[in-house]
Amino acid sequence: MTTKQLEKITDTIRSKAHQKNQETGKQQTRASFILHTLWRENAFSSSPLFMREEEKASLLLSQPSRWGSNLKPFWRFFMTIEAIDLLGDSLLENHSYTKVGESVHDHMTRLTPIPVVQHAVDGDVIADTIRVLDIMGHDPKPNTGAVLSCSGNDALRASSILTEPVSSVFEAFSLMIPILDGVRDRYRTLLDTMLKIYDRDLVRVMTIHNKVPSMPREPLAALSLFNELILEECSRRKLQIIDLRIICEAADSYSEISDIEPSGIGGLRISEAILNSFKEV
């Protein structure tokens, strides 16, 4: 055997060992996440941090009839999704309105080993998010989850119409209809563009929260028209909804810096809702 042949065999062995170590590391990360999730759900009393390795293995690998229903979604979650893209506005990019480390992106990166990629931009409207997707390119990403929060800023930009003088409720709706039609057209384009890139089952769409503490009830009532638009277009495309009207009901969900934005605790609630929505994938 020549020296070159020996070196080639050695390199092959090292490469296979490296790949095996990488896969082992991934499996350990997955197992750790599953254990901590089950612990948070009170499936067992002792924290995984204080368990011996054989105890962890026993919980994960033995008694499949007991743990199978809980473990399967998590294993499929890790095996199916390679990354999660955040798209849209400040409901997903709220770091300017929270303490350091308490944004939605920060919470998600702590809660899951899956890479969470920030494409959302504070202040973006629907047209901006379409441009973000165009810049990213429309190459399919079948193993990437996508979370969308968009149209809240479109509603905010149209809010001046609420002070327009009208002689009847009918006239007020007549003024709103062209605005809603324009938003709907752009929103349809946005969803259809997303579905060219992401698998339908891995897309999550958020409604606009409607429990803003300082906002009068009248603009919140008008906001329901935008949420109805979101729900209708997502239902038409069979997309899963994350309903911030429910998730962000409590006043502490809103930032003290700007109470139309999620606070640290609000961001945590949103993050948990997003990740929980992917469990059954």
Q: Are 90 and 120 in contact (CB under 8 A)?
A: yes
pLDDT 10s digits, 60-85 = 554 444 444 444 334 444 446 889 99
Q: Hey, what amino acid is at 205?
A: V
Q: How many domains does the chain have?
A: 2
Give the C-alpha separation, 26 to 178, whole Å: 51
Same domain, 37 and 122: no
Same domain, 128 and 145: yes
Of the candidates 51, 76, 101, which is a domain's last residue?
A: 76
Of the pLDDT bands very low, low, confident and very high (cuts 50, 70, 90), residue 127 is: very high
Same domain, 247 and 118: yes
Give the C-alpha separation, 91 to 263, whole Å: 10
Give the C-alpha separation, 115 to 82, whole Å: 7
Same domain, 150 and 204: yes
Of the candidates 76, 106, 127, which is a domain's last residue?
A: 76
Mean of the per-residue pLDDT values for the chain? 80
Same domain, 10 and 94: no
pTM check: above 0.75: no
Of the pLDDT bands very low, low, confident and very high (cuts 50, 70, 90), residue 222 is: confident
Same domain, 62 and 91: no
Q: Which domain holds residue 237?
A: 81-277
Same domain, 141 and 228: yes
Q: Are 86 and 116 in contact (CB under 8 A)?
A: yes
* E strand or H helix at 83: strand 83-88
Query: Reduced to 3 DSSP states, what percent helix, strand and coil does the chain have, rounded to the nearest 5?
Result: 60, 10, 30
Same domain, 10 and 32: yes
Same domain, 24 and 148: no
Same domain, 137 and 263: yes
Q: Are 209 and 253 in contact (CB under 8 A)?
A: yes
Give the C-alpha separation, 281 to 100, whole Å: 31
Which is more confident, 147 or 35?
147
Q: Residue 279: name the closest of 118, 71, 59 by CA.
A: 71
Q: Residue 111: name the closest of 49, 53, 29, 208 by CA.
A: 29
Same domain, 175 and 211: yes
Of the candidates 52, 76, 100, which is a domain's last residue?
A: 76
Which is more confident, 50 or 156?
156
Of the pLDDT bands very low, low, confident and very high (cuts 50, 70, 90), residue 106 is: very high
